[in-house]
Structure 1
Amino acid sequence: MAFSAFTPTIFSTPSPSFSIPTTPHLSNFIRTTKVKPAILTRQSLPPIAALSDPFVLQIAESLEDSLPSSNSSSYLQKLRDFASESLLSTPWPSRKDEPFRFTDTSFIKQSEIIPVSSPSPPQSLNNSSVFKDTHLLNLTIIDGYIIDSLSQLSGLPDGVFVGSLSSINSTEITKRVVEFLPISEQGDLFWSLNGVGSPDLVVVYVPEGCKIEGPLHLRYVSSEGSDKDSRKLPVSNPRVLVVVEKGGEVGIVEEYMGGDGDLSYWTNSVMEVVIGEEAKVRHSYIQTQSLSSAHIKWTSIRQEKSSTYELVEVSTGGKLSRHNVHVQQVGSDTITWLSTFHLSGSDQTQDLHSKIVLDHPRGFSRQLHKCIVAHSLGQAVFDGNIKVNRYAQQTDAGQLTRSLILEPRATVNVKPNLQIIADDVKCSHGAAICDLEEDQLFYLQARGIDLKTARRALIVSFGAEVIDRFPSSDLRKKVELHVKKLLDPEVHVGNSV
């Protein structure tokens, strides 16, 4: 078994030099991007070929060509222009880049990327096992496209909107929502690719003082896929913007599922959440996609004064799964809770990169990350950064990562990072990586429990600390049964995720 806990190391790499295929579509893609003359003059501007990665531009071109021609929203085009501009100077990440030092993305790069240009017919999915559960409020998104016939949104309070940006019929809501398009601080390459390739924007808008009873369930289904031995990799780019006004409250359950079977595909998803003053968002995130798939997720949070954000995450699917969580506290007395549990099996990589930035007084944050690597070929990565800036006095921030390694040669890489500039704070962080403790096993065996049962009980209880934080008992039971089945396939469960 292998693990590491270390401080950040910065690598500097020279700018790559590539030649660009001269296709008409790619030329169009380059022409539509904007270069600010105030920053780059004709004398100082390097050739486009010196800045661009041909593979990245090839994906961007194919994403652009796959978009529905009927969708001509100027607001959505603003997002695409903002994202496409950054792609001109963003190469595909490699292990030489610090954020991807332990995350190998060659599985995607070595595949033939095929954008999903249209959703599967709803009638072909009605009998799918992923739709066995019915929720009072739910929105179904298949391969990045909203499917109204498989959604249930009746009973929403007055003033609440859930749907696509193109279908908003309120000028007031549209005006408020587009203030956050694009969000001021962009993410990495995958954030930009999503911005270029998202067919539409899913909007969740909660007006001032409105509290939605019961969770809103966002079901993401990947139906387009190829055989796991095929090089073809269909890609979808779902994107969600949540805006909760002052005093509003909403619970959101994001559940990512694959269709029936072990298909190969790539889900490249983004969610941006804006939480107003004294508002609250409870965010549950479950990822159980195909073990032959790639799942890359961005969650970007902006919290205003006295707001609360709670994330509970369980991720067990994907050959490659990476979740980037960025939280920005832009007001005082702000509360942030992050609780995550990852389970990595054979030939799986589970990766969490998180960043919490506290800029104002009396901010509060707690982060708990737990992962289990249950196979010798499994890998887990945790890179958690908490930054307490100069004016964030009287901040209380804590971070803890605990990893359980069950097999020899399994790998865990952790990088907890706490940066403090303020001088009146209470902050802590810690990391632990180990196998099951012999004393705990002995305690259970001394009470007549056999070794196999004792190990199973301790492993399940390790993840239960996070699972128990889901707000719904039905959701807790569903996820717990799913995790038990993955850890021990012989366990019979009547209702798995």
Structure 2
Amino acid sequence: MDVSAFTPIIRTTRFSSSTIPTSPYLSNFTRTRKLKPHRHSLAPISSLSDPFVLQIAESLEDSLPSSPNLQKLRDFASESLLSTPWPSRKDEPFRFTDTSFIKQSDIIPVSSPPSLESLNNLSVFEASHLLNLTIIDGYVIDSLSQLSGLPDGVFVGSLSSINSTEITARVLEFLPVSEQGDLFLSLNGVGSPDLVVVYVPEGCKIEGLLHLRYVSSEGSDKNSRKLPVSNPRVLVVVEKGGEIGILEEFMGGDGDLSYWTNSVMEVVIGEEAKVGHSYIQNQSLSSAHIKWTSIRQEKSSSYELVEVSTGGKLSRHNMHVQQVGPDTTTGLSTFHLSGNDQTQDLHSKIVLDHPRGFSRQLHKCIVAHSLGQAVFDGNIKVNRYAQQTDAGQLTRSLILEPRATVNVKPNLQIIADDVKCSHGAAICDLEEDQLFYLQARGIDLKTARKALIVSFGAEVIDRFPSKDLRQKVELHVRKLLDPQVHVENSMRSFNLKRNL
């Protein structure tokens, strides 16, 4: 077998999509940029530029102080924005994802860290015994972080606070990125106020989880056109034989605020190193959450992602995994819940270039609202020299409302001829046989449906690395699927305190 490509597209909806109107705007971008046009291109740069994109880029640049260490990244991102238009439904990567919510807003960059007074008013944090770093609106807040007890040689913090020239030089080797991203990756490169660095030296193994807590405190009323935007960016470098577990948790501030979080995480995993990555997204239902995660795995390394995403009016996660050595292991387990008028979108790409690579991807989603939507576009590419590869992909979706929409596009491309690969996709409501099985044992229909819906996502939730984390996420999902669960737990807690 020389070339095999199987690209089924499954689209389930009762209504066809319509053209999204865009609002008029005025561009204030007047800065002259030096960029050599492609030698085969005869069109001037101005004709390739999108005024709306350049307007955002200029406002981001003007809101930030200069940073010599980040200047190369910012220049790289600025050049790419000159020829990158705002995505529309006509662009294949955004065919099912409507971004007009962002474009029709007045985008305002968050230009400074939050004040001490506003920090005192935040009530989103819970007591945590984990190592934790707090990032509010893209800025590291040391006063709300707890990093004591890190092993020698490990660094966690902002790039500007590194006091080791060796670590700084090593980190800057990976900036700017050379991979092709999209508009939102480039906007983050232009607008990130600092770089959060997690550095694990060779052979170091960190016990427990490092908790990265992202909070969006700047926001406007959900009926307002104003949309504050923050651009947190994290670079994780794990040297040969190192191990670390990272928990990313995205939270909104108090209230149902409207804002845009445009986040990027890049992970470089050295030879025989291991990274466990837990990712929880629970932002405001009036917000936009767009995230890029880029993974580079060297020989015999391991990367494992477990993700649960439930927040955001528009939530999109772009995953890119590149295996750059043999005997490499990759696992992606994701669960998305669209319980309101919201879009949950996952675009993933795994590229295998070397022998004996192993990858497993499990994606599950539930759409429990008549105006809710889920999107999955998963690409696994097994190139010619990736012989003896074992790659599998499975996506399963539950539609609980007649007018809900799920669009899935699993894509498996195989060029190697000695491989073991498989993938599958399914979209349905709960199976009648399962409901009958529970009803035959005395369980009423309503309770049976609740049990099956919760257990659908449990296959992913149970892969979180700690019991406390699993219980926390499961309770949150139960509350979203059945608000009565929250009432019952609150009453139980009140009665317990009264008895004490």
Report the TM-score, using the length of structure 1 for normalisation: 0.92
Q: CA deviation at 1:121?
A: 1.7
Match of 2:48 among 32, 35, 51: 51
What is the aligned partner in structure 2 of residue 446 from structure 1?
A: 440
Match of 1:267 among 261, 266, 284: 261
Letter in structure 1 aligned against 2:56: I
Larger deviation: 103-112 or 438-447? 438-447
The 5 Å alignment of 1:149-188 reads 149-188=143-182
Answering whether residue 58 of structure 2 is matched by residue 61 of structure 1, we say yes
Match of 2:183 among 181, 185, 189: 189
Call closer, same or farther: CA 1:289–1:22 in 2, change over 3 Å. closer
Match of 2:349 among 348, 351, 355: 355
Task: List alignment gaps of at least 5 residues for structure 1.
Answer: 9-18
Q: What is the CA–CA distance in structure 1 between the aligned matches of 2:73 and 2:217, rounded to whole Å?
A: 26
For the residue of structure 1 that corresponds to 2:30, the secondary structure is helix
What is the aligned partner in structure 2 of residue 254 from structure 1?
A: 248
The 5 Å alignment of 1:328-339 reads 328-339=322-333
Call closer, same or farther: CA 1:324–1:301 in 2, change over 3 Å. same
What is the aligned partner in structure 2 of residue 40 from structure 1?
A: 39
The 5 Å alignment of 1:335-346 reads 335-346=329-340
Contact 2:287-2:313 at 8 Å conserved across structures: yes
Match of 1:408 among 375, 395, 402: 402
Residues 409-446 of structure 1: per-residue CA shift (max 9 Å, x gap): 11000000000000000000000000001111111111
Contact 1:135-1:217 at 8 Å conserved across structures: no
Q: CA deviation at 1:47?
A: 2.1
Q: What is the CA–CA distance in structure 2 between the aligned matches of 1:22 and 1:188, rounded to whole Å?
A: 21
What is the aligned partner in structure 1 of residue 496 from structure 2?
A: none
Q: What is the CA–CA distance in structure 2 between the aligned matches of 1:409 and 1:189, rounded to whole Å?
A: 31
Answering whether residue 9 of structure 2 is matched by residue 6 of structure 1, we say yes
Match of 1:235 among 223, 229, 234: 229
The 5 Å alignment of 1:107-146 reads 107-146=101-140
Contact 2:298-2:323 at 8 Å conserved across structures: yes
Answering whether residue 425 of structure 2 is matched by residue 436 of structure 1, we say no
Q: What is the CA–CA distance in structure 1 between the aligned matches of 2:25 and 2:369, rounded to whole Å?
A: 41
What is the aligned partner in structure 2 of residue 13 from structure 1?
A: none
What is the aligned partner in structure 1 of residue 70 from structure 2?
A: 76
Report the TM-score, using the length of structure 2 for normalisation: 0.92
For the residue of structure 1 that corresponds to 2:463, the secondary structure is coil
Contact 2:8-2:411 at 8 Å conserved across structures: no
Q: Structure 1 runs of 4+ off > 4 angstroms? A: 19-23
Q: What is the CA–CA distance in structure 2 between the aligned matches of 1:279 and 1:212, rounded to whole Å?
A: 12
For the residue of structure 1 that corresponds to 2:306, the secondary structure is strand
Q: CA deviation at 1:91?
A: 0.2
Contact 1:236-1:268 at 8 Å conserved across structures: yes
Q: CA deviation at 1:359?
A: 0.2
Contact 2:10-2:407 at 8 Å conserved across structures: no
Q: CA deviation at 1:320?
A: 0.3
Match of 1:399 among 371, 375, 393: 393
Contact 1:35-1:85 at 8 Å conserved across structures: no
Q: What is the CA–CA distance in structure 2 between the aligned matches of 1:210 and 1:133, rounded to whole Å?
A: 27
Letter in structure 1 aligned against 2:48: L
Q: CA deviation at 1:120?
A: 1.4
Contact 1:75-1:181 at 8 Å conserved across structures: no
Q: What is the CA–CA distance in structure 2 between the aligned matches of 1:324 and 1:387, rounded to whole Å?
A: 16
Q: CA deviation at 1:45?
A: 4.7
Q: CA deviation at 1:49?
A: 2.1
Residues 177-227 of structure 1: per-residue CA shift (max 9 Å, x gap): 111001221310000000000000000000000000111000000000001
For the residue of structure 2 that corresponds to 1:90, the secondary structure is coil
Q: What is the CA–CA distance in structure 2 between the aligned matches of 1:134 and 1:7, rounded to whole Å?
A: 42
Letter in structure 2 aligned against 1:276: G
Match of 1:324 among 318, 321, 331: 318
Q: CA deviation at 1:22?
A: 7.7
What is the aligned partner in structure 1 of residue 20 from structure 2?
A: none
User: In percent, how many aligned pairs have the same letter?
Assistant: 87
Letter in structure 2 aligned against 1:35: K
Q: What is the CA–CA distance in structure 2 between the aligned matches of 1:420 and 1:186, rounded to whole Å?
A: 21
Q: What is the CA–CA distance in structure 2 between the aligned matches of 1:98 and 1:136, rounded to whole Å?
A: 41
Letter in structure 2 aligned against 1:137: L
Give the CA RMSD over aligned residues. Answer: 1.9
Q: What is the CA–CA distance in structure 1 between the aligned matches of 2:467 and 2:449, rounded to whole Å?
A: 25
What is the aligned partner in structure 1 of residue 384 from structure 2?
A: 390
Call closer, same or farther: CA 1:231–1:335 in 2, change over 3 Å. same
What is the aligned partner in structure 2 of residue 27 from structure 1?
A: 30
For the residue of structure 1 that corresponds to 2:120, the secondary structure is coil
Q: CA deviation at 1:133?
A: 2.6
Answering whether residue 220 of structure 2 is matched by residue 221 of structure 1, we say no
Call closer, same or farther: CA 1:109–1:458 in 2, change over 3 Å. same
Contact 1:244-1:279 at 8 Å conserved across structures: yes
Q: What is the CA–CA distance in structure 2 between the aligned matches of 1:480 and 1:186, rounded to whole Å?
A: 36
Contact 1:5-1:415 at 8 Å conserved across structures: yes
For the residue of structure 1 that corresponds to 2:300, the secondary structure is coil
For the residue of structure 2 that corresponds to 1:131, the secondary structure is coil
Residues 296-341 of structure 1: per-residue CA shift (max 9 Å, x gap): 0000000000000000000000000000000000000000000000
Residues 166-186 of structure 1: per-residue CA shift (max 9 Å, x gap): 111111101111110012213
Call closer, same or farther: CA 1:376–1:447 in 2, change over 3 Å. same
Q: What is the CA–CA distance in structure 1 between the aligned matches of 2:118 and 2:26, rounded to whole Å?
A: 38
Residues 374-396 of structure 1: per-residue CA shift (max 9 Å, x gap): 01100000000000000000000
Q: What is the CA–CA distance in structure 2 between the aligned matches of 1:45 and 1:34, rounded to whole Å?
A: 14
Q: CA deviation at 1:123?
A: 3.9
Letter in structure 2 aligned against 1:453: T
Residues 134-175 of structure 1: per-residue CA shift (max 9 Å, x gap): 233100000000000000011110000011111111111011
Call closer, same or farther: CA 1:66–1:374 in 2, change over 3 Å. same
For the residue of structure 2 that corresponds to 1:235, the secondary structure is strand
Number of positions where the alignment pairs a residue of Structure 1 with one of Structure 2: 472
Q: What is the CA–CA distance in structure 1 between the aligned matches of 2:396 and 2:174, rounded to whole Å?
A: 35
